[in-house]
């Protein structure tokens, strides 16, 4: 939703006041301006309304029995699901301490009774516009953060992000006495693919390769691009036997992948080196080094296979 044209019908406003007459008055003002509204006559009812509706802004009476506006505001601001909803207090009081407390609780504004329609609508529109702009900015930042973590071609973790994640998991494994398997994968004879079919088809091969593996891996496994045609996989809570089993599955999976081209069907194979984390490991590079040596052995055995320390080619 873009705010180049402000459309009140796109917003839902929750009005909270224990006096029904005030609810009707404010509701009428907002309704005539095109806003969608919902009502609550108590703090407890307001919290229930929030759970059942996607609320864009709250108009909250300051003085209410049982649970006053400040208490309601505090509950909302302490809940991560609702804390970003702007709250405007409705009050007949001009007491400075109450207003200061309201802002300290997280209110963005206040409107004094008796209500002036032009003022109420102006403040409501201002804070809805600000909230929407803030939401767009947050979403953009999240997207930028996600992009900074992903390889631009394959959309899996880039090298830098994979290393960060792997270091965290290594520390966790050390603290909790767990292990994980680390796989280094090399797409066999990738230079030949580029030379024979061109770089665009080479890119397509990398995308197809990573997509097939990503769809196979378990939720919680980490998959990243190590560089060029080399990739890395971190398998949580997976011993050497389990790591080898998954590597064998990936070898068979990739061997069955076929990409139609103008010349023929492009076939791929992969070589995989496997290592597991050990209690003495203090750096992820230590495990990667062992996995890389295993990868060298897999290639030496003719490729299209996987290899792990102390194991025969599989």
Where exactly are the structural domains of the chain?
8-147, 159-308
C-alpha to C-alpha distance for 278 and 224, rounded to whole angstroms: 21
What mean pLDDT comes out for the span 123-151? 84
Mean pLDDT of the chain: 92
Is residue 68 pLDDT above 60, yes or no? yes
Catalytic residue among 229, 230, 278, 285: 229
What mean pLDDT comes out for the span 192-220? 95
Angle between helices 199-216 and 240-255 (to 10 degrees): 130
**Would you state the pLDDT for residue 78?**
94
Is residue 225 pLDDT above 50, yes or no? yes
**Would you state the pLDDT for residue 134?**
86
**Would you state the pLDDT for residue 97?**
84
Is residue 311 pLDDT above 70, yes or no? no
User: Would the pTM count as exceeding 0.85?
Assistant: no
Share of the chain above pLDDT 90, in %: 79
What mean pLDDT comes out for the span 60-85? 94
**Would you state the pLDDT for residue 2?**
45
**Would you state the pLDDT for residue 147?**
66
Q: CB of 181 within 8 A of CB of 275?
A: yes
CATH fold label, 159-308: Alpha-Beta Plaits (3.30.70)
Q: pLDDT category, 213, cuts 50, 70, 90?
A: very high
What mean pLDDT comes out for the span 46-66? 94
Is the pLDDT higher at 108 or at 99?
108
**Would you state the pLDDT for residue 313?**
43
Angle between helices 117-149 and 20-32 (to 10 degrees): 70
**Would you state the pLDDT for residue 98?**
80
Whether 96 is catalytic is no
Q: Starting at the edge strand that comes first in sequence, how are the strands of the sheet with 36-40 ordered?
A: 36-40, 12-16, 57-61, 87-91, 109-112
C-alpha to C-alpha distance for 207 and 210, rounded to whole angstroms: 5
**Would you state the pLDDT for residue 4?**
54
Options 3.30.70.1400, 3.40.50.10190, 3.40.50.620, 3.40.50.2300; CATH for 8-147 is 3.40.50.2300
């Amino acid at each position: 939703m873009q705010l180049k044209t402000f459309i009140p019908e796109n917003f839902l406003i929750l009005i909270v006041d224990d006096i029904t007459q005030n609810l009707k008055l404010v509701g009428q003002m907002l309704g005539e301006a095109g806003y969608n509204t919902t009502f609550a006559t108590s703090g407890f009812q307001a919290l229930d309304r929030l759970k059942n509706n996607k609320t864009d802004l709250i108009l909250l009476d300051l003085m209410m029995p049982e649970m006053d506006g400040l208490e309601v505001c505090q509950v909302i601001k302490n809940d991560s699901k609702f804390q970003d909803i702007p709250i405007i207090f409705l009050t007949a009081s001009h007491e400075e301490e109450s207003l200061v407390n309201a802002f300290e609780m997280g209110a963005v504004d206040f409107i004094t009774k008796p209500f002036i329609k032009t003022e109420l609508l102006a403040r409501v529109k201002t804070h809805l516009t600000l909230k929407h702009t803030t939401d767009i900015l947050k979403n953009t930042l999240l997207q930028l953060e996600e992009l900074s973590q992903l390889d631009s071609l394959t959309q899996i973790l880039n090298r830098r992000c994979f290393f960060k994640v792997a270091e965290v998991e290594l520390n966790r494994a050390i603290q909790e006495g767990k292990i994980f398997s680390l796989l280094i994968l090399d797409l066999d004879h990738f230079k030949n693919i580029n030379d024979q079919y061109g770089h665009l088809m080479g890119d397509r091969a990398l995308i197809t390769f990573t997509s097939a593996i990503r769809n196979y891996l378990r939720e919680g496994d980490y998959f990243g691009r190590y560089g060029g045609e080399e990739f890395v996989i971190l398998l949580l809570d997976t011993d050497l036997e389990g790591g080898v089993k998954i590597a064998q599955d990936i070898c068979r999976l990739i061997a069955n992948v076929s990409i139609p081209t103008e010349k023929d069907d492009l076939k791929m194979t992969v070589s995989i080196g496997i290592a597991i984390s050990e209690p003495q490991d203090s750096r992820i590079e230590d495990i990667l080094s062992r996995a890389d040596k295993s990868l060298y052995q897999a290639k030496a055995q003719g490729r299209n296979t996987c290899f792990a320390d102390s194991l025969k080619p599989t």
